[in-house]
Amino acid sequence: ESPDAESWTSAGLGQGEALREWRDWAASTIAPIEVEVFDPHAFAARWVSHGIGQLRLLHLHAPAQRVTHVGDSSAMRATPSIQLVYARVGAMRTHMGGKRFTVEPGQFVLLDNTRFYQMEMQTEHECIDLMMPQAWLERHLPDPKAVLARPVDTRRGWGAPLGALLETILSGGLED
């Protein structure tokens, strides 16, 4: 693992302790979220986080759950940021900015951490969450707000090279 890597797993923890740690961690991240796990008695989850320059890549394996970010910028732990959430396994029913859509495996969506959003996963899921300072993204994307809350397929168009990059990173690219 890279020197900037952090990780957590519920393995070896009691159900109550694991669920409490999961919720506490979610509430203390750069974009604090509330978590409702649908079956707390079968809770099992893990994550690995890596710093990539100004970005943070989080690889999550989690149970069926609903996550809600209230969008309260006063609660932000850092400057405004955008999250790229990439579904690898399991669909994510999402609500943001008055839009409702589903992010299917092989798709990603950009979410604004200064606004309300909610994601519901009805099954166990695996996803990548790439957190980017908004100012950083604005240097690379002329109008980030124009692509918010719109699922992008990683097998077509401009999503294809980004999807390939994410998959390469996950297959050992962080060590290199």
Task: Convert the pLDDT of each residue in 35-77 to its tens digit.
Answer: 999 999 999 999 999 998 899 999 999 999 999 998 765 544 5
Query: Does residue 91 contact residue 103 with C-beta atoms inside 8 Å?
Result: yes
Beta-carbon contacts of 14 under 8 Å, excluding residues fewer than 6 positions away, are none
Identify the pLDDT of residue 70: 85
Distances in whole angstroms, Cα of residue 76 to Cα of each of 79, 105, 110, 158: 7, 29, 18, 30
Contacts of 100 (CB under 8 A, 6+ apart): 93, 94
Over residues 143-147, the mean pLDDT reads 86
Query: What would the pLDDT profile of 93-113 be if each residue is shown by its tens digit?
Result: 999 989 999 999 999 999 998
Q: Provide the edge-to-edge strand list for the sheet that holds 65-69.
A: 34-37, 65-69, 117-121, 92-96, 99-103
Rg, C-alpha atoms of the chain: 16
pLDDT bucket at 149, cuts 50 / 70 / 90? very high
Task: Give the Å distances, CA to CA, from 68 to 3, 11, 99, 116, 138.
Answer: 30, 25, 15, 7, 25
pLDDT for the residue numbered 77: 53
Whether the pLDDT of residue 123 is over 90: the answer is yes
Please state the pTM of the whole predicted model. Answer: 0.91
Task: Tell whether the model's pLDDT for residue 30 goes beyond 70.
Answer: no
Q: What pLDDT does residue 3 have? A: 57
The model's confidence at residue 171, banded by pLDDT at 50, 70 and 90, is confident
State the Cα–Cα distance between residues 37 and 21, nearest whole angstrom: 13
